[in-house]
Amino acid sequence: MPTDMEMWTEIRRRVLVEDVSKRQTRRDHGISSKTLDKVLGHTEPTRGRALFGASAGPSDPSEQQGRLPVPPSPTGTALR
């Protein structure tokens, strides 16, 4: 699996240099049009954000044990 920077560079090269269509590039790499627009708009990946399918949270349900669920906020109540 290529690193984020390698994938970023490959996507930009394919679309901007080789004239591969955006649709084909999205299909080949499994990314959304919004992600592709970010890649084409910046020469380097943005810092602190997971890209290309990497999630920010734990992927293993056992890692979530010990976390308390966040209760829903009450509707119609005034904030103090």
Mean pLDDT value of segment 15-30: 95
Judge whether residue 18 has pLDDT over 70.
yes
Domain layout of the chain by residue ranges: 1-43
Q: What is the pLDDT of residues 45-77, one digit of tens each?
A: 876 555 666 555 555 555 555 566 666 666 666
41-46 own/partner pairs: CB under 8 Å, 24+ apart: 43/12, 44/5, 44/8, 45/4, 45/5, 45/8
